[in-house]
Structures are given as C-alpha cells and as structure tokens.
C-alpha cells in the first residue's frame, strides 16, 4: 500500500502528505489529552497538588517548542520522514514510561524530555511546515486540514480516555495508548519520506523574497516581523491553553459529572475542528492570514472572558463550542503568515521559532491555571489573566495588518 501511494504524481501525493500528517496529529496529540483527562486522578493517586500535573503539561510544550526548532532545521536539511519516525517512537515510549512512574521527578522528566523534546517536537511545527511546501494554491485549506488533527484528537480521545480511567485505571490507559501510538504512527512516518517538488519563483517574484527578506511589510525587517509574530502567538497561546488544560477540571469543580465534563472538552475540540477544517482555511484564501488570525483571536478572547462566569452544563457547552471555534481558527493562520512573508527555504526554521514561543505560551497558560487554582481555589482569575494576554495578541496583529500592503509575492507555482 505504501509503495503504491508513493508512486502517485506530485499533485495527488500532496494530499497523501496532508492525510498522513493529519493522522499523525490525531494520534500523537493523545498524550496531551490523556494528561488533561487524567490530571485529577494522577494528582490524587500520589497526593500531589494540582500544580504537579499542570507543570508536566507545561513542560511537554516547552520541550516540544525547543525541540521543534531543531526538528525544523532537520526538516529543512533532510525532509520530514526521519523527524516523523523519531516523534512516533518517542510519544509511544513516553506514554509507556508514564504508566510505570512512581515519583514527581520521573513524571515531569518523561513529559518534558521524552514526550515533549523528542516527541511533540516532531509533530505540529515540522508537519505543517512540510505541508506548506507541497502547496501554493489551497495552502490555507491544506494547512487547516492538517491542523484539524489536533481538534479531532481533542474531540475523540477524552471520552475514550475517561472510559479507560474508569475501566482499567490511568496507568494501564497510558500503557495501551503508548503501544497503539507506536504501532499506528510508525507506518505513517514512511509516507512522509518523499520530498516535495523543488520551488520555482513565480513570474515577478522579487529576489529579496527568495533569500528570506520581507517585501510586503516595507516598514519591518524580517527579524522584527518574527519578533512580533512570536509576541502575538505567545499571547494567544496563554489564553487558549487555560481551558485546554483545565476546562475538564473546572467543569467538575462546578458540579458537572466527570463524563459530561470530558464531553465539554470534546465539544470544545469539535468546534476547533470545524474552524480548522472548513472556516479558517477558506478565510485565509479570501482575506489572508493576518485578518483571519485577528478575527478568530477576538472570538477566543470574548468567550474565554465569559467561561469562568458560566453555570450549568448547557451554558458551558455553548461557550466551549464557541471558544473552540475561535481557538481552532488561529492555528492554521501562523504557518500561512510565515509563508506569506518569508521564503520557503526558511519555512521549517522560521515556523519552528514562532511555534516555539507558542509552546511557551501554552506552557505558561497551563502553569498559570494550576498555580491560580491552588492559590485562589478556582479558575476565575486564571481565565481572566488569559484574556489579558489575548489582548496583547490582538494589539500586535492589528499593528501588522496596518503595516501590511498588498499581497505577498508567490514563491511557488500552483500545484
């Protein structure tokens, strides 16, 4: 089957790359959502404060971000196949190791190093950067479909994991997931070995764009653009991480049953899937990455500000779905923005650096939620702090929209 698929022409194989990348994200992100679902159970079994599993949640993002820069460099040099294989093996091995930990330092080390630095590092940033190299037309749609894998993971895994916690306990749930992850993701990594067609500058493309200079934001140097994008993604990721890490726990704290609380998280990620698979990609094609980012970030901030005041399952479900739609539309925008304003030769490294600061934001949000809960006994103030960080994102993106002029130069022919 793999050999037959790899014999397809470039146009068809580009969609094979999208499908394989999508499935890698669906399966690989299970390690994140298993921690979210099992957070209270793990803390209770060791008599830990909730800060400990929250810190593990943060460390996997920090490790994934730092490793993602290296994986992006590896992608630029050798292609996606080898990084994908390493990521598949490390995420599976990490989950298996979590099933046998007996101390906090072991738990934190596995999530920070094995699952984060060597596992998650090979997922979002390199996979999406690789996909952008296969498309010029429909790039936003392709990126949206791939990033929707995270949303499908969040919608599908929590109920399954919640069932596993009740049936076999959190340790055996981690063990089963780890074995499945290795068995399922390893073959997918082989489909990502084929390199994309070499890029060809479109007629009229400036030579400055080919060496990575920014020609569509004349008031900004590429370094300044990267710095602003890093600040923007940090702000929005602090905000999005808080409900992702703590919404299930928050829901049970306000009286919602555990299985219903897991369903709330699934609804959030289902909304995210709709935004990524359909709305965000089409909006990027229509109004560009920056404006798409602003609109979805605005929706995320508004709904996050309402979540800590919501009561009752119906209200929480509605706000979770709206928050998920806003959060989901953000993720496809950053890879496209990097490719709109920087050259393809820097795609892996440039996106890796931006996503690194996004993982710092995700880590900070998870940590703020845990510390905030332990300090105040609830999630109201942590969620409102997230809104403030989201406001920083909106200010930076609004500035970039004002600084941009005209469409970015095309750097590859339509495929």
Q: Taking residues 245-260, what's their average pLDDT?
A: 85
pLDDT at residue 46, as a whole number: 92
What pLDDT does 88 receive? 95
Q: Which residues contact 184 (CB under 8 A, 6 or more apart)?
A: 23, 27
Provide mean pLDDT across the span 309-330: 91
Does any domain span residue 119? yes
Residue 213 pLDDT: 37
Percent of the chain with pLDDT over 70: 88
Q: What is the pLDDT of residue 202?
A: 43
pLDDT at 217: 58
Residue 241, in any domain of the structure: yes
pLDDT of residue 206 exceeding 50: no
- Asked if residue 180 has pLDDT above 90, the reply is yes
Distance CA 372, CA 5 (A): 50
CB of 108 within 8 A of CB of 55? yes
pLDDT tens digits for 223-248?
788 899 999 999 999 998 898 888 88
Query: Given a cut of 90, is residue 7 above it in pLDDT?
Result: no
CATH number at residue 395: 1.20.1250.20
Answer whether residue 410 is part of any domain.
no
* Mean pLDDT, all residues of the chain: 84
Look up the domain containing 326 and give its range: 2-403
As a whole number, mean pLDDT of residues 397-406 equals 81
Say how many domains are in the chain. 1
In a domain, 413, yes or no: no
Q: Percent of the chain at pLDDT above 90?
A: 38
Residue 414 lies in a domain: no
Identify the weakest region by mean pLDDT among 115-124, 205-214, 402-411.
Answer: 205-214
Over residues 283-292, mean pLDDT: 89
Please report whether residue 79 resides in a domain: yes
């Amino acid at each position: 089957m793999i050999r037959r698929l790899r014999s397809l022409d470039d146009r068809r194989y580009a969609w094979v790359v999208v499908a394989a990348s999508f499935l890698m994200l669906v399966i690989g992100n299970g390690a994140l959502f298993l921690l979210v679902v099992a957070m209270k159970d793990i803390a209770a079994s060791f008599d830990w404060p909730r800060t400990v599993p929250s810190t593990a949640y943060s460390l996997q993002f920090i490790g994934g971000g730092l490793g993602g820069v290296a994986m992006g460099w590896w992608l630029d040099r050798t292609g996606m196949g080898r990084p994908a294989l390493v990521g598949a093996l490390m995420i599976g091995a990490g989950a298996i190791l979590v099933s046998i930990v007996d101390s906090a330092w072991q738990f934190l080390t596995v999530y920070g190093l094995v699952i984060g630095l060597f596992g998650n590092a090979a997922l979002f940033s390199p996979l999406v950067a690789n996909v952008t190299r296969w498309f010029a037309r429909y790039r936003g749609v392709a990126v949206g479909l791939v990033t929707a894998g995270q949303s499908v993971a969040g919608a599908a895994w929590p109920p399954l994991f919640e069932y596993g916690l009740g049936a076999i306990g959190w340790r055996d749930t981690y063990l089963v997931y780890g074995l499945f992850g290795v068995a399922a993701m390893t073959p997918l990594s082989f489909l990502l070995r084929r390199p994309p067609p070499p890029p060809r500058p479109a007629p009229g493309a400036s030579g400055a764009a080919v060496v990575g200079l920014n020609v569509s934001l004349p008031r900004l140097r590429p370094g300044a653009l990267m710095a602003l994008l890093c600040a923007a993604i940090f702000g929005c990721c602090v905000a999005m991480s808080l409900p992702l890490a703590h919404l299930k726990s928050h829901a049970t704290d306000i009286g919602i049953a555990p299985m219903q609380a897991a369903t709330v998280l699934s609804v959030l990620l289902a909304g995210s899937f709709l935004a990524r698979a359909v709305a965000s990609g089409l909006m990027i094609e229509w109004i560009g990455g920056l404006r798409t980012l602003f609109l979805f970030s605005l929706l995320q901030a508004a709904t996050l500000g309402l979540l800590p005041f919501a009561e009752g399952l119906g209200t929480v479900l509605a706000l979770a779905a709206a928050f998920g739609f806003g959060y989901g539309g953000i993720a496809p925008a950053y890879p496209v923005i990097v490719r709109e304003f920087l050259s393809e030769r820097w795609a892996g490294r440039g996106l890796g650096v931006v996503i690194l600061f996004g993982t710092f934001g995700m880590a900070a949000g998870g940590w703020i939620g845990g510390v905030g809960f332990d300090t105040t006994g609830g999630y109201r103030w942590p969620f409102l702090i997230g809104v403030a960080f989201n406001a920083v994102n909106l200010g930076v993106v609004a500035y970039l929209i004002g600084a941009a002029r005209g469409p970015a130069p095309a750097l590859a022919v339509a495929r």
